[in-house]
Amino acid sequence: DVKVTQSSRYLVKRTGEKVFLECVQDMDHENMFWYRQDPGLGLRLIYFSYDVKMKEKGDIPEGYSVSREKKERFSLILESASTNQTSMYLCASSLGGPGTEAFFGQGTRLTVV
């Protein structure tokens, strides 16, 4: 079974902290994604990566950065956490083709206080 693992289910951080959300997949997938899920807004793409060290901005990249040094790991970084970044964060991965299934992690509920 494909597994996408996010490092934390729940996280509480203070305003201004630098926050790292880690995601690891075990199926040698080229594509990895970070989404933010908010009620009524669905899933909004923050960043995605199509290869090691390659990344592309999604729809809401402001306040975030990413790192993909190894194929299996994709990290989302909140440079200076703010309360409006309180949300559910979902990581996903897929093979390179457009029709391929995306596999999701269990999500990280981040609260910034």
Partner 1 sequence: AQTVTQSQPEMSVQEAETVTLSCTYDTSESDYYLFWYKQPPSRQMILVIRQEAYKQQNATENRFSVNFQKAAKSFSLKISDSQLGDAAMYFCAYRSAVRGATNKLIFGTGTLLAVQP
Interface residue list for partner 1 (CB under 8 A): 31, 33, 35, 40-45, 48, 50, 56, 58, 88, 90, 92, 94, 96, 98-99, 101-102, 104-107
| Least distance from partner 1 to the Cβ atom of residue 48, Å | 6
Measured from the CB atom, is 15 or 106 closer to partner 1? 106
Measured from the CB atom, is 52 or 102 closer to partner 1? 102
Picking from 21, 20, 5, 1, the residue whose alpha carbon sits closest to that of residue 104 is 5
- The span from the CA of 72 to the CA of 57, in Å, is 19
Cβ burial, residue 69 (10 Å; 0-12/13-18/19+)? exposed
Measured from the CB atom, is 2 or 77 closer to partner 1? 2
